[in-house]
Amino acid sequence: MRYKIIHELPGRIRLLLRVPRRPVIERSRIEALFADREGVERVEFQHRTGSLLVHYNGGSRVREMILDTVQEAPLSFASAPRLRGGRREDRLDGKKRAVIASGSLLLASPFIPAPVRPFLALYGAMPILKKGILSLVGKGRLNIDVLDASAIGVAAGMRDYRTVGVISFLLKLGDYLEEWTRQRSRRMLSSMVQVVDEYAWVRREGREERVRTEEIAGGEIVVVRTGSRIPVDGVVAGGEAMVNQSSMTGESLPVMKRKGVTVHAGTVVEEGTLAVRTTAAGSRTRIARIVKVIEESEERKAEVQNYAERLADRIVPYTFLLSGLTYAFTGNPVRSASVLLVDYSCAIRLSTPLAIMAGMVKAARRGVLIKGGKFVEALAQADVFVLDKTGTLTGAAPAVAEVVPFDGYSREYILRHAACVEEHFPHPVATAVVQKAREEGVIHEEEHGEVEYIVAHGIASALNGRRILIGSRHFISEDEGIDTSRAEEVIRSLAERGLSILYMAIDRELAGIIAIDDPLRDDTGVFLRKLDEAGIKRVIMLTGDNEATARSVAERLGIREYHAQALPDTKAEIIRKLKESGHRVAVVGDGINDSPALALADVGIAMKHGADIAKEASDVLLMDGDLTAIIDAKRVSRTVMSLVGRNFRYIAGINSVLIGLGLSGAISPALSALLHNATTVLVTLNSLSPLAGKDGGADNRTSPAGGRGDWEARGHTVRPYSGTGAIEYSGENR
């Protein structure tokens, strides 16, 4: 194997290997050349750059052994079995060989004896004829394969064997170009979601160990050097580097990463060294989730995609009808064959799914994972946005503002036992209570019995033989029948300040309340303003808080339609009625209690920090938790749907012109086939245009949202919806 020394220090040498770009050589195969070689301490190979870095000890003897090993390494690595996509590449090679053979036969036809030409022409056309017969007889389908076979059959019936050869060549060429376009499309899409290397260097017990990427645990420190692909999602714990993250964001230039900055698996360190503290590895990384969703997206086709496929199937019989009528009125089989060689089906079938997939990748670069084509379409059409409050409009990082004891209990007692029970549930409010106890040095030993979480209500447990309840007013007062009247004045005062209320009862008596302050997210105002600019005239806030708290938050944000005291079934009912009234509804939420609404919506959008069940029920996931990314994803979705519509018009218009020219005899069947196939490829490539432009939406995220008066000035229509329920603190805020 040829190489070049590009950098060398005592005990360290970096080589540039002359290795093929395709197929990709496994990193482990190169590094395995030095396994158990005396004096070699560490080996790193990066296929992307062809760089081989070897750390060694033992002086010139070991150095020479390293160079000899590289030089003697066989180039058989390049012929390694294709682990992924091999069948597709083999299929493309087969179609390429068929085109070359058919073209060669066509060029040689003038020199072939006349008696032999019919047999050679029909032999070359046999694969096309066979596909058509199998589709018609075997499957009972009148599709594009039957069209192609019929065109060749007409030419053969006319004993025009040169035309048979030309049509066969052009159909094979078109087939090859379509397959080539598909493969190029896949490569363009997969360039954004390249998998990470199989191995990584992890710092354990003061030394670096080479471990499989899938074995890296959360919190471990991964060391990534120049030329290496970052194998995990994480936060930089040390070092500085320029990182190329074009695969994730589309940025053309590398960006500086230093301590405290987030990095993602699949991005490449171009210069420098990083120590990354792992937050997600293997299938949990952002890039792995993108790959999985894109691979599964075919199962969630957009309605426009299903329509395109149905339309393509329906067009074929009409093409036969038009061809038959042409022959009936003109008696010219050549003009009849011209009609058969121009169809709308293949371009429609190919361009629509590629446009949708390109849009999904574009949205993923902005941190929005759309789980299927149907949700690209739904997001583009959404005209009502229903927003959860806690964790969505607010920052999912609430804090305890007040602790008010009753009935002789001390403040310290209420906080200690509330924290003791709440620490069993990883909810932002529970975390706030536990954090407050920690800040005040309140020690809460495990004195309670088994803790029971009651969805949308609260928590129940036992404390020294006494029943302890923590949760919403609906849970404490209405479900459990506990009198809260003594706290009405305090509750009213806290609610007017926009605070949420957590109730605590012991032995059927109100023991205390905890007021929670849930500050607004930094990007909430910008998000609401951009929703308005995007033409969304109806925005609804849902919350389990009481009327005063809900009104306070809504007024601060300029949201004029809200529903307080909303239980999960209430939220679902609101979504159902909106859909019944003809709206396309998008729901943004993060909690367990948002799951029914997320599942019922036309498109459910979950936050990355939300409950697992909410993320599972959602159709769209905000991978970076940035609300404004929803606007970018909606813009991309609209662009994609507009592109699909334009493609329809291009396909219909161009192919109709070709059919008209064929009917008039202005062009031959062979030229019709050539122009038709060229049109198909061009329209298909146009479907990938969403990947070509820069990602937008990152430049207007700092402007504050206008207040209520500002929204009114922009002409918002208010259509209030009557709220239901009677709780102040529901599972929404749990």
Residue 262 β-bridge partners: 235
CA distance 365 to 368: 7
CA distance 229 to 235: 15
Q: DSSP secondary-structure letter at 492? A: H
CA distance 490 to 320: 80
Q: DSSP secondary-structure letter at 615? A: H
Helices marked H in 73-212: 86-108, 117-133, 144-157, 161-190
CA 404 to each of CA 397, 414, 490, 726, 727: distance values in angstroms, whole numbers, following the listed order: 21, 8, 9, 22, 19
Pairing relationship of beta strands 40-46 and 620-622 according to DSSP bridges: unpaired
CA distance 518 to 429: 9
The residues, any chain, with a CB within 8 Å of residue 79's CB and separated by 6 or more, are: none
Known catalytic residue at 388: yes
CA distance 536 to 318: 41
CA distance 288 to 405: 49
Pairing relationship of beta strands 458-463 and 452-454 according to DSSP bridges: antiparallel
Which residue type does 505 have? A
The answer for 664, left when phi > 0, alpha when psi is -120 to 50, beta otherwise, is: alpha
Which residue type does 647 have? N
For every residue of 409-436, DSSP letters joined together read --HHHHHHHHHHHHTTS--HHHHHHHHH
Write out 660-678 in H/E/C secondary structure: HHHHHCCCCHHHHHHHHHH
Sheet holding 3-9, edge to edge: 3-9, 12-17, 51-56, 40-46
Q: Which residues of 502-533 are buried (b: 16+ CB within 10 A; e: fewer)?
A: bbbbbeeebbbbbbbbbebbebbbbbbbbbbe
The Cβ of residue 431 has, within 10 Å, a number of other Cβ atoms equal to 17
Q: What is the CA radius of gyration of the chain?
A: 33
Q: Are 643 and 355 in contact (CB under 8 A)?
A: yes
φ, ψ dihedrals at 447, nearest 5° = -110, -10
> Among 388, 523, 590, 619, which one carries the catalytic annotation?
388
Q: Are 607 and 625 in contact (CB under 8 A)?
A: yes
Token pair listed for 152: 């060749």
CA distance 408 to 514: 16
SS3 154: helix
For every residue of 535-600, DSSP letters joined together read T--EEEEE-SS-HHHHHHHHHHHT--EEE-S--HHHHHHHHHHHHHTT--EEEEE-SGGGHHHHHH
Residue 273 β-bridge partners: 240
Residue 468 β-bridge partners: 461, 506
Report the catalytic residues.
388
